[in-house]
Amino acid sequence: MFKIIRKKELNPTVTLMEIDAPLIAKKAEPGQFIILRVDEAGERIPLTVADFDREKGSVTIIFQIVGATTAKLNRLKEGDFLHDFVGPLGVASHVEGLKKVAVIGGGVGSAIAYPIAKKLHALGAQVHTIVGFRNKDLVILEDEFRACSDVMKVMTDDGSYGQKGLVTDALKSLLDAGEQYDEVIAIGPLVMMKFVCKLTKEYGVKTVVSMNPIMIDGTGMCGGCRLTVGGKTKFACVDGPDFDGHEVDFDEAIERAGMYRDFERQQYEETCNLFKGV
The tens digit of pLDDT for each residue in 20-42 reads 999 999 999 999 999 999 999 88
Residue at which a domain ends, from 89, 109, 130? 89
User: Is residue 250, in this structure, part of any structural domain at all?
Assistant: no
Residue 25 structural domain: 2-89
User: Is residue 245, in this structure, part of any structural domain at all?
Assistant: no
Residue-wise pLDDT tens digits, 42-56: 888 899 999 999 999
Task: Say whether both 102 and 179 belong to one domain.
Answer: yes
DSSP bridge pairs for 129: 103, 152
- Cα Dmax for the chain: 57
Task: Say whether both 105 and 201 belong to one domain.
Answer: yes
191, 219 Cβ separation under 8 angstroms: no
User: Is residue 194, in this structure, part of any structural domain at all?
Assistant: yes
Task: Say whether both 104 and 205 belong to one domain.
Answer: yes
69, 38 Cβ separation under 8 angstroms: yes
pTM of the full structure: 0.87
User: Is residue 110, in this structure, part of any structural domain at all?
Assistant: yes
Is the pLDDT score of 216 beyond 90?
Answer: no
Residue 116, domain CATH: 3.40.50.80
Looking at residue 93, the DSSP 8-state letter turns out to be P
Return mean pLDDT, the chain.
90
